[in-house]
Amino acid sequence: MMSDQFRKVEPYSPKSSPRGARSPVVSRQDSSGTLKTTISLGKNPSIVHSGPFYLMKEPPGECELTGATNLMAYYGLEHSYSKFNGKKLKESLSSFLPNLPGILDGPGQEDNSTLGSVIAKRPIGGKELLPLSSAQLAGFRLHPGPLPEQYRYVSATPPKRHKSKHKKHKHKDGAPPGQDTPLQDSSNPDTYEKKHKKQKRHDDDKERKKRKKEKKRKKQKHSPEHGGLTPNQHPVP
């Protein structure tokens, strides 16, 4: 141990290991090419470099496919690249599935209908799918009338957006709405009627407000405080 402290460590000597304090005497596997050395163990262990240069190794073999190659061209993906990068892809899921009704763009976690949950917790399967018997169908006899309030608007039409204001005007003019799919409108006649009623109420409110404003303006014109004519100032016919 004491001798170790006084032993000179020459950092560039072949006797010292290039990898720190590891002994050069012990042979080890070289994974990065063939090391041109001869290592002999025994009484007088030594390392004889057979090559002309220290640590000279065989270079790795040439590879046809490297990162320097244009991999898009190599694998014939240029068409796919131009297809996906040429046009702007829409963000929403509903743009990918335009024919499906209902709300598609909401996150699946809200109603626990994620695909991830199907993978994580696989549904029980393997049973044969058989048509229902008449006794089983008897369980589907329903009471007549509309659904209760709490079940009525589940996965119904999507919430109104600001863009729909323009479409309301289009709708008033008789033009069909662009964003709402015909499937949704036809599937919920009740909601369509309710929307129409809401629009009517909204219009009625606007008209009432306008009338009130007009009345106020008339009062202000005729009041003496605001510079209107007094009864004495009315022109005599």
Partner 1 sequence: MSTSLENLETQLEMFIENVRQIRIIVSDFQPQGQSVLNQKIQSLVTGLQEVDKLKAQVHDILVPTEVFDYIDQGRNPQLYTKDCIDKALAKNEEVRGKIDSYKRFKSHLLSELSKTFPNEIAKYKAIRGGE
Give me the least distance between CB of 120 and partner 1, in Å please.
10
Residues composing the chain: 237
Which amino acid is residue 14, in one-letter code? P
- Asked if residues 184 and 192 have their Cβ atoms less than 8 Å apart, the reply is no
Contact between 71 and partner 1 per CB under 8 A: yes
Q: How many residues make contact with partner 1 (CB under 8 A)?
A: 55
Question: Is the CB of 41 or the CB of 93 nearer to partner 1?
Answer: 93
Closer residue to partner 1, CB minimum distance, 44 or 92 = 92
From the list 10-18, 38-46, 105-113, 165-173, the region that binds partner 1 by CB under 8 A is 105-113
26 lies in the binding site for partner 1 (CB under 8 A): no
Rounded CA-CA distance 12/9 in Å is: 9
Residues 6+ apart with CB under 8 A from 181: 98, 101
**Is 124 an interacting residue with respect to partner 1 (CB under 8 A)?**
no
Residues numbered 51 to 70 that lie near partner 1 (CB under 8 A) are: 51-53, 56, 59, 66-68, 70
Angle CA 40–42–46, to nearest 5: 40
The first and second tokens of residue 226, run together, are 């605001």
Tell whether residue 30 is a contact of partner 1 (CB under 8 A): no
Q: Report in angstroms the alpha-carbon separations of 120 from 116, 117, 124, 127.
A: 6, 5, 12, 20
Cβ count near 89 (within 10 Å): 10
Nearest-approach distance from CB 181 to partner 1, in angstroms: 11
Residues near partner 1 (CB under 8 A) are 51-53, 56, 59, 66-68, 70-72, 77, 80-81, 84-85, 89-93, 95-96, 99-102, 104-109, 114-116, 119, 129-132, 137, 140-147, 152, 183, 187-188, 190
